[in-house]
Structure 1
């Protein structure tokens, strides 16, 4: 195993892997698919029941609520 990774070694490893007969390639995702994936990740992180992100999510919801109330006044 080579240590001290750098771009040259990464490129060498990618080129080597691409020549292997067992290498599998996946289709490129559309922009819409990427947007949906991003939305699902955000929802998952914000709705984690015991996750570290839960307090942040509550603050964000409160902040948005305050902004809306302030805009209506």
Structure 2
């Protein structure tokens, strides 16, 4: 085994002539990063819009609920 020149290398190192994907990704990292930043930015924009809509619905629902409670309280307290 020691006389074998392939000692310490994997099958892929011996027979695969394509470049290592990790090396290719490292060289093209700036384009990948830009794509991720764009997707994250779009996702945050959507999240912000949904949160804004949800908060306005929550605020409106709370206001309606408090007014309902106030009306019910006034009806019961004014009975004579």
Q: Report the TM-score, using the length of structure 2 for normalisation.
A: 0.29
- If you compute each CA radius of gyration, which structure gives the higher value, 1 or 2? 2
Higher relative contact order (CA 8 A, sep 6+): 1
Q: Report the TM-score, using the length of structure 1 for normalisation.
A: 0.32
